[in-house]
Amino acid sequence: MKRLLLALIMSLTICMTFSACAQKENDTEETVEEESKTESKKEKKKDKDKKKKETAEEVTPEVTDKDTEKDSEPDVDYEAVYAPVIDRIRTTIENGFDPDKEYANIPTGIIEQLMYADKNEMLASFGYEIIDVNEDGIPELLIGRNDDYSEYGEEDRCYIVAGYSYDGAETYQFLEGWVRSAYWWLGDGNFFYFGSGGAATSIFGECYLDKDSKNFIWKDYYFSDDKSDGTIAYYHNTSGEFDASASDEIDKTGEEFWELANSYEFKLLDLTPFGGSQVSVVWADDVVDESTEYISYEPENTAEYTTHVLFSVKEDVKNFKIVELFTKNIDDDGHIEFLYEERFKLDMLTKDKPVCAGINFYGSIPNNGFMYTDKDGNDHLFVIDQSGKDGSLYIWEYK
């Protein structure tokens, strides 16, 4: 009996042990399964977050320090920035050339022209444009003159004597041009350069201003130079250096060299003349055709030699008048004192409708002019003159 009871107790103990082990094994399996599910969810969430991040990086533009600087830059009045340079050059031209004076901070090309040209003609022909040459967001100031090359069978071009930029604190000059070291405008930020160092030495090429607005980068730089055997050789590089040893000698004749120099296409700048007139005057035959809408004026004493000019504006001006000038006095220095009589008047000369007027020129002393009132209420009288060199029109302000 005792043995039977002992056997029963041992059997129950074994059963309970197996049962507990089985339960523990089940609990372990469930825990592992639950942990596996949790890890799987975490992995999925991690993958999802990673995809979101990658997508965000694809669609979000990169913000650089340069962009931040650009956004934070204050508006700059570049007309005011360059005004001292413009006024300095204008005043120099108005005063005429003085051989006893030392000129500082005036372009060599301006002084060179002022030595020989009429100052009033220079005020009308030379001008400036504020234009972003290298598209860096900071416009440059270009000083130059649009030249007529039609008599040579070539396209008109803009001769540039100076270029200025601004570094946020002060203006500085990056271009200096004169007759024997000249720059012309090609458009789209490009310049044509031509230099001469003697009968055997000529230089030409195309360049553009770097993003720092300090130096020129050369697309092409061609030059000719003497060789040791006395012949002339032709070279090319993109460094802008006059150095035969650092350049490629090109197989061209002198004629081919000059054909290459004449192959460039020039552009004009939209210059504001130093003369300062808001009204421009050109020969009507050069610009007027059947499609041109204009207001017509003919003088009472129309003669066979009556010619026609076109008065136009970019912005409307008040109290526009065409006047006839009469010489009152000429002093010992050749300065003329004028009287004037009104011949035609408009309350407003508008940019949409220019005036085509008949005028007569008598002799070498100017006898035609025009007047207008500017936006500040100031009245201006300009004299219409003709160039003794090529017969082109130019205007100068009578003060």
**Confidence at residue 382, expressed as pLDDT on a 0 to 100 scale:** 95
DSSP 108-129: HHHHHHHTTS-HHHHHHHEEEE
Per residue in 367-390, pLDDT tens? 999 999 988 899 999 999 988 777
Contact 141, 86 (CB under 8 A): yes
Per residue in 82-110, pLDDT tens? 999 999 999 999 898 998 998 989 999 99
Between the alpha carbon of residue 241 and those of residues 209, 218, 224, 302, the distances in Å are 16, 10, 12, 60
DSSP 372-387: EE-TTS-EEEEEEEE-
**Confidence at residue 358, expressed as pLDDT on a 0 to 100 scale:** 95
Residue 50 has pLDDT above 80, yes or no: no
Please tell me the distance from the alpha carbon of residue 52 to that of residue 59, in angstroms, as a whole number. 11
**Confidence at residue 43, expressed as pLDDT on a 0 to 100 scale:** 54
Residue 46 has pLDDT above 60, yes or no: no
For 368, the enclosing helix (H) or strand (E) is strand 368-373
In Å, how far from its chain's centre is CA 250?
33
Segment of 50-59, 97-106, 129-138 carrying the highest mean pLDDT: 129-138
Please tell me the distance from the alpha carbon of residue 227 to that of residue 344, in angstroms, as a whole number. 66
**Confidence at residue 334, expressed as pLDDT on a 0 to 100 scale:** 83
Contact 110, 176 (CB under 8 A): no
Q: Which one, of 50, 99, 109, 83, lies nearest residue 274 by Cα?
A: 83
Contact 271, 162 (CB under 8 A): no
Residue 232 has pLDDT above 70, yes or no: yes
91 three-class SS? helix
**Confidence at residue 76, expressed as pLDDT on a 0 to 100 scale:** 92
In the chain, where the domains are located: 78-261, 277-397
Please tell me the distance from the alpha carbon of residue 117 to that of residue 94, in angstroms, as a whole number. 12
For 52, the enclosing helix (H) or strand (E) is helix 2-59
Q: Which one, of 135, 133, 139, lies nearest residue 77 by Cα?
A: 139
Residue 68 has pLDDT above 90, yes or no: no
**Confidence at residue 333, expressed as pLDDT on a 0 to 100 scale:** 80
**Percent of the chain surpassing pLDDT 70:** 81
Q: Average pLDDT of 335-355?
A: 95
**Confidence at residue 305, expressed as pLDDT on a 0 to 100 scale:** 78
Residue 1 has pLDDT above 80, yes or no: no
Q: State the pTM of this model.
A: 0.70
Q: Average pLDDT of 158-180?
A: 97
Between the alpha carbon of residue 143 and those of residues 22, 158, 351, 396, the distances in Å are 98, 10, 25, 18
Residue type, 139: P
Contact 319, 372 (CB under 8 A): yes
Q: How confident is the model at residue 201 (pLDDT cuts 50, 70, 90)?
A: very high
Residue 60 has pLDDT above 50, yes or no: no
**Confidence at residue 152, expressed as pLDDT on a 0 to 100 scale:** 85
User: Burial, 111: exposed, middle or buried (Cβ in 10 Å; 0-12, 13-18, 19+)?
Assistant: middle
